[in-house]
Amino acid sequence: MTQITLHNTRTRRKEAFTPIDHDNVRMYVCGPTVYDRAHLGNARPVVVFDVLYRLLRHVYGKDHVTYVRNFTDVDDKINARARDIQARGDTRDLNAIIRSLTDETIDWYHADMDALGALRPSVEPRATEFIGQMVGMIEGLVAKGHAYAAEGHVLFDVRSYPEYGRLSGRTVDDMIAGARVEVAPYKRDPMDFVLWKPSASDEPGWDSPWGRGRPGWHIECSAMADELLGASFDIHGGGIDLQFPHHENEIAQSCCAHPDAGFANFWLHNEMVQVEGKKMSKSLGNFFTVRDLLEQGWPGEVIRFVMLSTHYRKPMDWTEEKAREAERELSRFKSLAHQQRVGAPPEAIIKALSDDLNSHGALTCLREFYRQRDSVSMAAALDFLGLNLGGMAYWKDDSESITQRLEGLSEVLSALRKSAKSNKDFGPVDDFKRRLVSAGLEVRMSKEGVELVPGPDFNPSKLEGLE
């Protein structure tokens, strides 16, 4: 069996991955808070963990991997967006607006992530479907002395968990010294965090031993992971921005709720996304949603290719130059692979990805397949990497049409060459050949005939008028 190695954030080293149960490899990834379109940074963990999901399914079997990615559909940001909608004239009550908003946003998210070639997870729970499990976990933490009620809130007692800070590598005192948050008067310690909070009469709320209210963000993931994957599971993932406080808090409350279990054995975090070398920011005008890029004409395969070009543990920089190069490379790869049936992924691709998801190495394999004109490996690799969406969707013509055009142009050049041999005028041959080369084609002429091969800068649009 293929040995997968992954960098474990918690131990800060790369380790051989061995699942708790080979028949049910379990992974949890933090999903979106659903109140707006997913931006480019939201999409990166989707692509990263989609690659891992594909790899795990290949190694352990499609029916032996459970992938959970949640939707946070109860949150202060959602409430704030719903109030804005209400203020603009929507006459529905707040809860009706929230349900409509979260439903619509989940539909957007699915459409956008589908466009990036991401497989749907095994389970996509909504937080609001697991309120009972959250209340039960909080009750257990209070009973064990790890949480306390105060002024309608329930807070986790950070000092009750000595391991707090291990994931992020910081001590509680260091965190307090660097904190810039206003400390609520009912907190015993500035770092204590909310498990339950009261809800206003018009806000989403549920009955609990501490009054009508709603859960804090951190307890949501702990309760859903526990219910769907168990107290111990294999992999927990997300963006590096979630390492602290979200994942740190998840570990604390989950390990205190189940002291004999280990929660997640492996923690994986992807780095952040930049745009043209700068932090993505609305104030800088470089903030893009996935839908923005799709509507600008960048196909999902191109966006995915750019993301895979950088190792997940390094910052990824989205630039138009990278996107254009990705589009050119994909067009070359697909021109080679389009007539082949998809088979098992090449061993070189599996080997690269098994080394801590070395997606850059996997793309290097694609370039080697292209150099060797290995269409069988290319087709299988593109499919496995999720780069075969829509066939040749990013070309003006589909791949079959492009092939037919190149065959037709080969016949034209062959006819011109035949005429030139008779009349000794090679000017038309040279002129036609120059125009083919300017379109990015390599022209191979031999006794057997003429072959046109797309090169690195092949642009089908430049073939217009040549037939």
CA 280, CA 39: separation in Å to the nearest integer?
10
φ and ψ at residue 412, rounded to 5 degrees: -60, -50
Is 271 annotated to bind a ligand? Reply is: no
73 contacts 112 by C-beta, under 8 angstroms: no
Residue with tokens 């009550």: 93
- According to DSSP, the residues that pair with 109 across neighbouring strands are none
Cα–Cα distances in Å, from 399 out to 133, 207, 384?
51, 58, 19
Q: Quick one: how far is CA 34 from the chain centroid? A: 16
Nearest alpha carbon to residue 175 among 191, 159, 194: 191
Q: Quick one: how far is CA 452 from the chain centroid? A: 37
16 contacts 265 by C-beta, under 8 angstroms: no
- Residue 401 tokens read as 């049409």
418 DSSP 8-state letter: H
213 contacts 152 by C-beta, under 8 angstroms: yes
**CB contact set of 218 (below 8 Å; sequence gap of 6+):** 156, 193, 195, 245, 246, 249, 250, 253
Nearest alpha carbon to residue 192 among 256, 262, 252: 252
Is 255 annotated to bind a ligand? Reply is: no
Is 365 annotated to bind a ligand? Reply is: no
- Residue 96 tokens read as 């009706």
Is 282 annotated to bind a ligand? Reply is: yes
β-strand pairing of 147-150 with 213-215: unpaired
How long is the chain?
Answer: 467
Q: What DSSP string describes 130-166?
A: GHHHHHHHHHHHHHTTSEEEETTEEEE-GGG-TTTTT
254 contacts 48 by C-beta, under 8 angstroms: no
Is 250 annotated to bind a ligand? Reply is: yes
Which residues does the annotation place in the binding site for Zn(2+)? 30, 221, 246, 250
Which residues does the annotation place in the binding site for ATP? 282
Which residues does the annotation place in the binding site? 30, 221, 246, 250, 282
